[in-house]
Structures are given as structure tokens and as C-alpha cells.
Amino acid sequence: MEMLELKAFGAAYRGRRVLVTGHTGFKGSWLCLWLNALGAEVIGLALDPATEPNHWDLLALPVTDHRIDIRNEAAVRDVFADERPEIVFHLAAQPLVRRSYREPIATWSTNVMGTAHILEAVRHTPDVRAAVVVTTDKCYENRESTWPYREHDRLGGHDPYSASKAGAELVAASYRAAFMHDAVAPLLATARGGNVIGGGDWSEDRLIPDLVRSLIDNQKLTIRSPQATRPWQHVLDCLSGYLLLGQHLLDGNATCAGPWNFGPEQQGSRTVEEVLQALVHDWPRLDWQVTDSHQPHEAGQLRLDSAKARTRLGWRPVWGFEQAIRQTGSWYRQWLESGEVTSLDQLCAYTADATASGLDWMKP
């Protein structure tokens, strides 16, 4: 894939050694694409991709690639000692709600102890100046309220995935308070994103990947909860928040060492059925049915309040719901029809739109 150099985030990442855990996953691969375009020296630490096809292999990025299980503390520490990263984005996780019901121990050990292993390596690596631990909007104790969750709301979780991500937040808060409070310690923040969509996701039990598979197999899509409401956002909007937060941490802004929400505007919270209706534009033959079989519990209402990121970081989404859906549908349609991977083109379009919107983080 042809690379280019993007100028953004105050050149904070140009020439930096940046370690991304979970780089072979959906969000991790998009983050590596962006960091590479920003001129970073990217180091990846993850398991092999979980699906075939997968976005990571399609991108074929020039990064230092370590295939390590974050539950192996010694192996994690060895990678940190060898690579000496300056900033860490921790995305590696067991990220699926329904799988967490089938594999609760693996979910807890990966999402909680794996996070502890990463942060233990962070605090023993003098080169690390900043770390961003990525959790989820599902880390909040869900009250099925129409009010969006804010960073100070209570953490919790019904299913093992959500609860383990709340646990990862507590691990990060503990490490920040116990080990990262003096002037020479790295700055540590957590980032809670919404329901992220975008091209290149083939994860199981996710709406749009399931849709793509149903179209390939010429079958009707089966959905579980058509009225479930989620804060849908394009992956690049979410990642712009992570990168902006990382920039502030690298600049030594200690007030940014804490939890942050990065979600869509209020109109981005839509039902599953509304998402499918919006996708009909790209796939007119789309058809679905609602299953009547018993399903594990999942939250019905979920919204995020990102006012803190807007007012204190100057962050806001670039692509609204309709454009996020359109760009996602376009990515998969191009890939299905021609095998073309348009991720870099979409990144360029996104940053151009961010520049046109006058966002400060696009300034070099």
C-alpha cells in the first residue's frame, strides 16, 4: 500500500516509537495505518488476526510485528525492553460480548490481567512517557437510561466483557494513583469509545460484519435486538480522539491523565434497525429477520457524553452518522466488487474534512 505523510497532532508522532497492542485487530490496524502516515515508528504487539480475511493483512503495513499474548507477562516485558516505546496505545482485548459468555475466564484474564501486564511493563520502561488504555462505552454500570454516561459515572457490567472492561479501568486508575504520580512517571489515560464501525471489520457477532457475511452467502441477515440503541461512530472519529489525547500526554499535560469519552454527537445514537435502513442505500438487496431464540443479556440503551473531550481537548467528531454509514458501506462495496482496499483513501478524505472543519489537531 502506498504511504503518504500526514501533518497533524502538532507533529507529536513524527519519529516517535509508538507501541500499539492489538495492532492486528480492527481498530488497531486502522490506528497503525494513521500512525504510519504520521511518520511514527510503529511497533505492534498482538495475537494473529482472528479472521480471514482481515484488515491487518490487507493493509500490509511496514511495522515491527510481535505476535505475543498479553497474558504472558514475561513476553510483554521482553518486547518493552527491546523496543523501548515512547508512547503506548493499549487496544489488545477480548472485545466481544457474546464470546465473553462462552469464554468468561479468557475474557477476564485478557482484559484485566493483560492490562495489568501492559501497565507493569510501562512503569518499568523509562522511555515510556505516555500510555492510553482503550476500554469501551460498555464499562459503565448500565441503568438503561436515556441520559448519556459521563466519565464520573459508576463503572460496572452485566456480561463478562463489560465487567472486565470496567475492571481494566480500575486497574488503570490504581496504577495511575499508586505508581505514576511523580514528575518523572509516564502519564496514563483511559479512552472509552462508542460502537465503532468502518471498513475492514470481520469480527463475529457484530452487525455490519454479519451483514457482509450474509451478503456474500446470499442469505437473509438475522438480527437479535432491532431496537437496541448504540452510539455509532466511524473508527477514524474514535481514533482521532485517542491520538489527540496521546498528543496532550506527550506534551506533559498532567490534567489529561484520567478517563475520557469519545462518542458521536447525540444524533449518532441510533437503533440497530435504523442502521440497517441507512445501509440499504449501498446494499438495496439487504434483507433481515429478527431471531426469536433466547439470547444472552445485552444492554438496550447506551449513550456517551463527550462534553469533556470537546471542551478540554477541542475534539469533536468529523463524520456524522450518515457519513459514517456511507463510508463504511463504500469500503465494503469496493472490496466486494474489486478487492480494492480504500482505507488510505478514506483516511485522506477524513483528514481533509477535519481540516475543512477547522479542527486544531489538524495543524502540523
- Looking at residue 5, what is its pLDDT? 65
pLDDT digits (tens, 9 = 90+) for 188-213: 999 999 789 999 999 988 889 988 88
Supply the CATH classification number for the domain 9-196+235-266+298-320+340-362. 3.40.50.720
pLDDT digits (tens, 9 = 90+) for 343-355: 999 999 999 999 9
- Looking at residue 183, what is its pLDDT? 86
Round the average pLDDT of the chain to a whole number and report it.
92
* Terminal-to-terminal C-alpha distance of the chain: 24
Closest alpha carbon to 341 in 17, 15, 103, 54: 54
Enumerate the domain spans of the chain: 9-196+235-266+298-320+340-362
pLDDT digits (tens, 9 = 90+) for 207-227: 899 888 888 888 888 887 788
Strand partners, 144: none
Closest alpha carbon to 279 in 160, 351, 199: 199
Closest alpha carbon to 60 in 344, 349, 351, 350: 344
| pLDDT band at residue 126 under the 50/70/90 scheme | very high
- Looking at residue 2, what is its pLDDT? 45
Question: What element of type H or E holds 19?
Answer: strand 17-21
Could you give the angle at the alpha carbon of 197 between the alpha carbons of 48 and 290, nearest 5°? 100
The residue assigned the cell 496504577 is: 175
pLDDT at 27 over 90: yes
> Tell me, what amino acid is at 189?
A
Read off the C-alpha cell for 31.
490506528
Q: Are 26 and 200 in contact (CB under 8 A)?
A: yes
Q: Are 107 and 159 in contact (CB under 8 A)?
A: no
| pLDDT band at residue 294 under the 50/70/90 scheme | low
HSE, CB side, 13 Å, CA atoms: give it for residue 104: 6
| pLDDT band at residue 1 under the 50/70/90 scheme | very low
Cα–Cα dist 58/264, whole Å: 28
Strand partners, 41: 17
